[in-house]
């Protein structure tokens, strides 16, 4: 039986990152993948949906530009969009695979091994791999990292045929634009798909939101702006609505909504997309044979990436943490460093930057206002509207804002930031670095930014906190804001006016 220093189960972006970090230590590593290298990071997930978003964004940009000239709207055949998405997936897949092949060819000591097949535990150190020809193989790992990812959650009462009622696994494979589409779930992924189809302009989109506002985990200023833009593009958002029935009738999807505050409604659409979360892939692993524990949601229970069995780690979506590629990759690298270097420091995720691909794009780092308030942390909040940022004016894209949240003390340590608007995803990184380095906000106020650039808005926020801003908030009252929130009382730091939150 082959023996390895490290066996990684799952060749998505997270398992891949674990393998590469293992090789850095000169260890013998085996990667087991049952389907396609790249996982949801490439297929029916991060890369493919972002390619769709980019295409849709460009189509919307072109149409916004020509609509004022009275010209006919630009339309792109769905097949062409699919071709572009397939090209992107293929390119990334080829990079991953050829990189593995070349590493194998160039490794003199045969350090990297790839096994195609489904892995399951036979015992804590022994893994069985069964490939598509039903051939079986056993191998041994001194250490094992589980990175088997997740799949879309289904609703028990609705039959998902991936033709009419779809999940993110099926939506990219439809044959043409749906004339109408209902999206069940107004979280990040549901809102991203609503943005994509609204931007493409060929589909009447309905979005079912169980709560009173979409993106409920984010502050209201973000969800309000995103909702306003979706509605402007014709998306119907059903707030406070619960899905009580959904069935396929005459090649269409009929669904019934129950509202908290009004009568129920029955609607027919061509397709439905369920976007109600994901479930971890653990069933095939036979975790019980290794003694690894999982919770009621099927998420492998970990403490700083380590399972209850000392030599077995779990990272990425399978642990049900923050399900993102960058997050999983950090976990994977951390787990390998713990194994190889006996690293003792815990993984710090305070500065993980993420993006939501909406209209406009939204980038996040650290806590938002509502999280700080829930935790009763006294805070100062400073906000600038994009209408005051020269680059945004030049771009004629002045929708959006920066919001920085700091501790309400003399140190003003950054707790988090939200960027909503053009270049949001690149703007956030400086603040992410500051959080990581535990540096005070003065550092940002003294940087010399290129002009005109969107990041100048962040600098202006910081200067406002230090009472050194160029634009004064007592003049631009609706575009600049600086307030504290302490014990549920919000105080405008300019006027001293208070209100209970
Ligand atoms: C629609 C959508 C959009 C997204 N957008 C973003 C985004 O913009 N940014 C972002 O950071 N993240 C995004 N994500 C999340 C991101 O795709 C996941 O967090 C990431 O892919 C998780 O990586 P992973 O390696 O843990 O799991 P996966 O990518 O799911 O890979 C797991 C791999 O393990 C394999 N496997 C499973 N069980 C076994 C077994 N028993 N034996 C062998 N192999 C096995 C699977 O075949 C798969 O290849 C998105 C996800 C979705 C669905």
Q: Running along the chain, 501 residues long, what does each successive block of 10 average in pLDDT?
A: 96 98 96 98 98 96 86 93 98 97 87 97 98 97 98 91 97 97 96 98 96 95 97 96 95 94 92 97 98 98 98 98 95 97 90 95 96 96 97 96 96 94 92 89 86 95 93 91 94 87 78
| Ligand 1 proximity of 312 Cβ (cutoff 6 Å) | no
Please write the tens of the pLDDT for every residue from 174-190.
999 999 999 999 999 99
Q: How much is the pLDDT for 155?
A: 87
Partners of 181 in the β-ladder: 205, 271
The tokens for 271 are 């397709």
Place of tokens 């506002």: 213
- What distance in Å separates the CA atoms of residue 209 and residue 230, rounded to the nearest whole number? 13
Which atom of ligand 1 sits closest to the CA of residue 325? Answer: 11
User: How far does residue 315's CA lie from ligand 1's centre (Å)?
Assistant: 11
Place of tokens 């893994």: 127
| Ligand 1 proximity of 425 Cβ (cutoff 6 Å) | no
Say how many C-beta atoms besides its own lie within 10 A of residue 181's C-beta.
25
| Ligand 1 proximity of 148 Cβ (cutoff 6 Å) | yes
Pocket probe for ligand 1: among 324, 425, 428, the residue whose CB has the most ligand atoms within 8 Å is 324
47 CB-near residues (< 8 Å, 6+ apart): 38, 41, 88, 89, 92
| Ligand 1 proximity of 254 Cβ (cutoff 6 Å) | no
Write b or e for each residue in 218-239: b if 16 or more Cβ atoms lie within 10 A of its Cβ, otherwise e.
bbebbbebbbebbeebebebbb
| Ligand 1 proximity of 21 Cβ (cutoff 6 Å) | no
Cα first-last separation, the chain: 64
The tokens for 265 are 């409604």
Please write the tens of the pLDDT for every residue from 51-95.
999 999 999 999 988 887 888 889 999 999 999 999 999 999 999
Q: Whose CA is closest to atom 2 on ligand 1?
A: 45
| Ligand 1 proximity of 39 Cβ (cutoff 6 Å) | yes
The tokens for 346 are 């815990």
Identify whether the C-beta of residue 491 lies closer than 8 Å to the C-beta of residue 484: yes
Which atom of ligand 1 sits closest to the CA of residue 284? Answer: 41
């Amino acid at each position: 039986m082959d023996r390895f220093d490290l066996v990684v189960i799952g060749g998505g972006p997270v398992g891949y990152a674990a393998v590469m970090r293992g090789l850095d230590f000169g260890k013998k590593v085996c990667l087991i993948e049952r389907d396609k290298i790249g996982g949801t990071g490439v297929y029916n997930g991060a890369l493919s949906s972002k390619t769709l978003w980019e295409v849709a964004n460009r189509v919307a940009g072109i149409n916004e530009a020509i609509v004022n000239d009275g010209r006919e709207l630009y339309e792109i055949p769905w097949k062409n969009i699919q071709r572009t998405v397939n090209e992107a997936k293929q390119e990334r897949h080829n990079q991953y695979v050829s990189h593995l092949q070349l590493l194998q060819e160039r490794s003199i000591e045969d350090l990297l091994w790839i096994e195609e097949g489904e892995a399951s535990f036979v015992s804590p150190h022994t893994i069985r791999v069964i490939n598509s020809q039903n051939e079986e193989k056993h191998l041994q790992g001194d250490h094992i990292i589980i990175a088997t990812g997740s799949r879309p959650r289904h609703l028990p009462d609705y039959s998902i045929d991936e033709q009419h009622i779809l999940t993110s696994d099926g939506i990219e494979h439809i044959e043409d634009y749906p004339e109408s589409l209902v999206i069940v779930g107004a979280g990040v992924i549901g809102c991203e798909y609503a943005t994509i189809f609204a931007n493409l302009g060929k589909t009447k989109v309905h979005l079912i939101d169980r709560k009173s506002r979409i993106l409920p985990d984010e502050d209201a200023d973000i969800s309000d702006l995103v909702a306003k833009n979706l509605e402007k593009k014709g998306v119907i958002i059903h707030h406070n609505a619960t899905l009580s029935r959904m069935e396929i009738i005459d090649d269409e999807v009929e669904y019934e909504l129950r509202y908290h505050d009004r009568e129920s409604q029955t609607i027919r659409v061509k397709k439905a997309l369920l976007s109600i979360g994901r479930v971890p892939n653990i069933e095939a692993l036979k975790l019980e044979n290794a003694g690894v524990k999982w919770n009621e949601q099927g998420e492998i229970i970990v403490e700083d990436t380590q399972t209850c069995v000392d030599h077995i780690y779990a990272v990425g979506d399978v642990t049900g943490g923050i399900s993102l590629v960058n997050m999983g990759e950090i976990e994977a690298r951390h787990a390998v460093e713990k194994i190889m270097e006996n690293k003792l420091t815990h993984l710090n995720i305070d500065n993980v930057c993420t993006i939501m691909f909406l209209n406009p794009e939204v980038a996040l780092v650290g806590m938002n206002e509502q999280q700080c308030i829930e935790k009763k942390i006294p805070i100062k909040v400073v906000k600038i509207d994009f209408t005051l940022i020269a680059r945004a004016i030049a771009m004629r894209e002045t929708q959006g804002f920066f919001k920085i949240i700091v501790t309400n003390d003399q140190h003003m340590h950054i707790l988090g930031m939200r960027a909503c608007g053009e270049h949001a995803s690149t703007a956030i990184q400086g603040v992410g670095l500051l959080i990581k380095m535990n540096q005070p906000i003065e550092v940002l106020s003294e940087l010399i930014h290129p002009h005109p650039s969107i990041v100048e808005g962040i600098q202006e926020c910081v200067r406002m906190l230090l009472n050194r801003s160029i634009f004064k908030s007592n003049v631009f009252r609706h575009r600049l804001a600086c307030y504290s929130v302490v014990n549920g009382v919000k105080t405008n730091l300019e006027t001293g006016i208070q209100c209970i939150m």
